[in-house]
Structure 1
């Protein structure tokens, strides 16, 4: 399981990829959380907006979903940088409070079911709202939304 996750805005994949060696700094607008797997979170969020449901998907269904693309090849150092799909960025930017609350509940339920006491102690609804704000900024400025994790 990843330890530190930063969702951040970057002007392009090359700029996002440059964060591979170093955590995205203060130059990037970002939201930080801990102890989640960003690729499964991104896939689950994308699945929710394509097939809305209050129930979290079975693990097999989630794993069969289209997962985010790396912007750099994964290295043995444990750092991963993913690009959120543009359709997900738009969906998060356009999401209302009811959609975000339902998605946050579903996401939290899945993490609790899979991770139990090892689940993050971050406020996941607040993380999701923060990522939604980043998505709105990405859409309005034409930048990309990315995740960095170690």
Structure 2
């Protein structure tokens, strides 16, 4: 099953939810990829970057669902936690490479092949987006369809 995954910056949950039907392209600054589970990925990235366990983050309701009009059967908007945003923004390139390797290794036994170069590109791009948040009220969101 193919999926489109677009991470973007928006000023509020309401603004992010407003793009659920058609996505954020052309409306908000965004980066697009495909074919990985963004909800699971955001939890794994936060776990790798902060040391909190996957289960603990899942129990805390991360990432937050902002819009899901078709109850899991259509486009969804998720909000990255502020902790993940801050971790991405404050992490240097070598730590992002290490995190991407952990992500690729974690997915492999489950049969989910993620190319190492793409994993690095995803995390480096998200870190650049997150760094753009400092000084603003914007949040990092993910739209998937």
Q: TM-score range by the shorter chain?
A: 0.7 to 0.9
Q: Which runs of 5+ in 1 are unaligned?
A: 53-60
Deviation at 1:64, TM superposition (A): 4.9
- Whole-Å Cα distance in 2 between the matches of residues 113 and 15 of structure 1? 38
**Structure 1 partner of 2:126:** 131
Gapped regions of structure 2 (runs ≥ 5):
none
Which of 77, 81, 87 is the equivalent residue of 1:91?
87
- Whether the aligned pair in 2 keeps the contact of 1:3 and 1:35 (CA below 8 Å) is yes
Structure 1 pair 126–108 and aligned structure 2 pair: CA distance change class (3 A): same
Q: Is the 8 Å Cα contact of residues 2 and 149 (structure 1) preserved in structure 2?
A: no
TM-score (norm 1): 0.83
> Could you tell me how far 1:6 is from its partner in structure 2?
0.2
Q: Deviations over 1:84-119 (max 9, x none)?
A: 001110110000011101100011112222234xx3
- Residues 1-150 of structure 1 correspond to what in structure 2 (within 5 A)? 3-51=3-51, 62-66=54-58, 67-73=62-68, 75-76=70-71, 77-116=73-112, 119-120=113-114, 123-150=118-145
Give the helix-richer structure, 1 or 2: 1
Moved over 4 A (4+): none
Q: Aligned residues, how many?
A: 140
Task: Quote the RMSD (CA, aligned, Å).
Answer: 2.0
Q: TM-score, normalised by structure 2?
A: 0.86
